[in-house]
Amino acid sequence: MRAFPNRATPPHIVTLTLAASIGPLAINMFLPSLPGMARDFQADYSVMQLTVTLYLFAQAVIQLFIGPASDRFGRRPVMLFSLVTFVIGTIIALLAPTIEILLAARVLQSFAAGGMVLARAMVRDTVPTNEAASKIAYITMGMAFVPTISPVIGGMLDAVYGWQASFFAMLIFGILGVALVWLDLGETNRVTSSSMAAQFRSYPELLTSRRFWGYSATAAFTTGTFFAFLGGGPFVATEILGLGPAAYGFYFGIMSMGYIIGNFLSGRYTMQLGVDVMIVSGNVIAVVAMLVSLVLFSVGIDHPLALFLPAGFVGIGNGLALPSTNAGIVSVRPHLAGSASGLGGALQIAGGAALSVLAGVIISRETGPFPLLWLMVLSSFASVICSLYVKSLPKRPEID
């Protein structure tokens, strides 16, 4: 058994899981507090929603640079820089006197994307594609506990101490992440590139790959179904279904628990079934689940479970599909794993952020939950189409 922590050996799965979990924590923990934060900052809900969407868009942009930077300078220093920047942003958010400063702090917090991007690249540095998908699934299963419990904890902290308590919890988590990465994470990129410019010049090699585009589009729509829920779910839960912050956090845990189950199944069966089967199966489950939710609300069943239980199956579908999709992205060009992870992650997050914004715009008390439900149905259906396209591509070098 390897010593832990130990920088002389490949990073422990606990280290990679913790580093990858910080980004989801910063998205999910304060969601139950959004309506209350809007009142405290005297801002419209649509403006407060920018704390989610701006964070996501900033992550998309940052990932364009994190991947190439890690291929040039190494995974370890870029990971440390990203997490330290997150800690600084969290301190600023905790003390923010205005909505403008809070939004700026959220941009700094978005550097937590480095944990997600580089964890995938580090796995691909050390193992082949199918094994990478399995290991990424187990990492994602572990990190999925964070969005499962963080809205519940965030809602409870908000009820007792106010919304700032959630950011204080993020700060503790971020400091712990920096410490563990410093102690355990050794360098896995053994062949660094000659310059950042060389890495950016590698993007055309990725962008001309039909398989890379197929995997990236699949990831964008798969993630987009979840991000659409992030954009419209809190409004539906609080303003239409009448849930408080703590209750929303509890019900949101159903979706996250589904994600954990999906990732466990992915880690267990990807080696036997292959990435393409896992991707298609997961996305089909998500489509069926959201159609069920649409039917339930259409016949007048407006219980919270009519929204959150199908969302739990969306979580299962995402858990099945995303580890294999992300493994596919970084395996199209293994020598560009960092750049592929960053570029693919940027496309994935940008697509998800756009759907999150759209969900926040199209939903209102008058419309009820239906615009959100239809958006999630269409996004998950698009992910099925994209995954079938990737599956249909011949596995030849000129196609890959």
pLDDT at residue 312 above 90? yes
The rounded percent of the chain whose pLDDT value lies above 70 is: 86
The whole-number pLDDT of residue 66 equals 82
Say which range, 56-65, 92-101, 170-179, 290-299, has the weakest mean pLDDT: 56-65
Q: Which amino acid is at 364?
A: S
The whole-number pLDDT of residue 352 equals 81
Distance CA 311, CA 237 (A): 13
Confidence bin at 154 (pLDDT 50/70/90):
confident
The whole-number pLDDT of residue 149 equals 75
Q: How far is CA 27 from CA 23, 147, 217, 261, in A?
A: 7, 8, 22, 20
Contact between residue 51 and residue 27 where contact means Cβ atoms under 8 Å apart: no
Residue 104 CA, distance from chain mean position: 20
247 vs 80, residue with greater confidence: 80
**Length of the chain in terms of residues written:** 400
Confidence bin at 275 (pLDDT 50/70/90):
confident
Q: How far is CA 66 from CA 104, 140, 319, in A?
A: 19, 20, 24
pLDDT at residue 360 above 90? no
Contact between residue 369 and residue 87 where contact means Cβ atoms under 8 Å apart: no
**What does the pLDDT average to over 307-336?**
85
The whole-number pLDDT of residue 399 equals 44
Phi then psi dihedrals of residue 368, to 5 deg: 70, -160
Distance CA 400, CA 393 (A): 8
Distance CA 19, CA 111 (A): 11
What are the pLDDT digits (tens) for 94-132?
Answer: 999 999 999 999 999 999 988 888 887 787 776 666 666
**What does the pLDDT average to over 337-352?**
77
DSSP for 196-254 reads: HHHHHHTHHHHHT-HHHHHHHHHHHHHHHHHHHHHHHHHHIIIIIS---HHHHHHHHHH
Q: In b/e form, how buried is each residue of 191-203, taking b as 16+ CB within 10 angstroms?
A: eebeeeeebeebb
Does 3.90.1300.10 match the CATH number of domain 13-186+199-392? no
**What does the pLDDT average to over 221-239?**
85
Q: Which amino acid is at 329?
A: I
What's the chain's average pLDDT? 83
345 vs 38, residue with greater confidence: 38
**What does the pLDDT average to over 25-41?**
84
Domain ranges of the chain: 13-186+199-392
Distance CA 284, CA 215 (A): 16
The whole-number pLDDT of residue 49 equals 77
386 vs 149, residue with greater confidence: 386
The rounded percent of the chain whose pLDDT value lies above 90 is: 27
